[in-house]
Amino acid sequence: MKLGQYTTNWISLNNCLQKSKYLSFKNRLIRVNTKTLEDRDVENYPIPTNPKYSKVGTLGNHLSCSAITAMKSNIANSILLYKSFESASSELKKGRIDALWVPGAYPQVGSFIMDSNLKVVGAHLITIPDLVLAGRLDIKPVGVQKVFFHSAVEKLLLELKLIWGEKITVQSNPEASQLVLKYPYSSIAITNSSCAEYYGLIIYAVLRKSINMPFMLFESANVYGKM
């Protein structure tokens, strides 16, 4: 998978994220913590053709389902990544981005729909990466101390068939995967297959395979000039 021919500034550095966490595709590199992705590690995303927006905000790093689908959607020149959908929503209300990208599975999506400062302008049905149960142990454990997951997939806890001491909600699938690396012998994560592969996790089960997810697109209800 090559990115050398792409010069579009796909993923932009945003102040809400830690410095040096992301570099733009313009430089042909993306940095996640201290690990750098090179051309061969980056999925082959299309160059946007007449995108509707300049900047669209969503959750995660480049491995979150929201980021992956936003990049595939041809919706914007730049996808800005935030620690939460709420942070991205705040930036939208301030006129710093043009739109917000949120999956229908996010439990708090209704708060954006009912927000008088936002308006729904469309929805896109896009296939997301497999949702998987993954960890660092070679064999699926019978029980663990911690299970990490994003709130959008909490219902999948009922299908794990293992014993856990504590269930811990995190901000994104990448964060869930990173925390398993921090607690390799006592934790497990529900994450997506892209995260599991990148962070070197063992996939114990595919909980949902290539499901179609509706992603809602929000704009500010206020009028701002073109960014």
pLDDT value of residue 159: 94
- Whether 11-127+212-220 and 131-208 share one fold: the answer is yes
Q: Look up residue 87 and give its amino acid.
A: S
Q: How far is CA 187 from CA 45, 93, 201, in A?
A: 32, 38, 11
CB 70 within 8 A of CB 101: yes
pLDDT value of residue 225: 44
Residue 195: pLDDT over 60: yes
CB 196 within 8 A of CB 61: no
Of 170, 188, 172, residue with least CA distance to 180: 188
**Mean pLDDT, residues 176-183 taken together:** 97
- CATH class, domain 11-127+212-220, is alpha beta
pLDDT value of residue 72: 87
- Residue bearing the bigger pLDDT, 227 or 167: 167
**Mean pLDDT, residues 73-80 taken together:** 89
Averaging pLDDT over each range in 17-26, 42-51, 213-222, which range is the top one? 213-222
CB 55 within 8 A of CB 77: yes
CB 91 within 8 A of CB 16: yes
- Per-chain mean pLDDT for the chain: 81
Distance CA 21, CA 12 (A): 10
**Mean pLDDT, residues 92-100 taken together:** 95
**Mean pLDDT, residues 149-160 taken together:** 95
Q: Look up residue 213 and give its amino acid.
A: M
Residue 20: pLDDT over 70: no
Domain residue spans of the chain? 11-127+212-220, 131-208
pLDDT value of residue 22: 34
Count other C-beta atoms under 10 Å from residue 214's C-beta.
Answer: 13
Question: pLDDT-based confidence at 215, cuts 50/70/90?
Answer: very high
Q: How far is CA 150 from CA 111, 143, 169, 189, in A?
A: 17, 20, 5, 9
Question: pLDDT-based confidence at 169, cuts 50/70/90?
Answer: very high
CB 64 within 8 A of CB 172: yes
The topology (CATH level 3) of 131-208 is D-Maltodextrin-Binding Protein; domain 2 (3.40.190)
Give the containing element (helix H, strand E) for 67. helix 65-72
110-144 pLDDT, tens per residue?
999 999 999 999 999 999 999 999 999 999 999 99
CB 190 within 8 A of CB 147: yes
28-70 pLDDT, tens per residue?
333 333 333 333 334 445 566 678 899 999 998 889 999 999 9
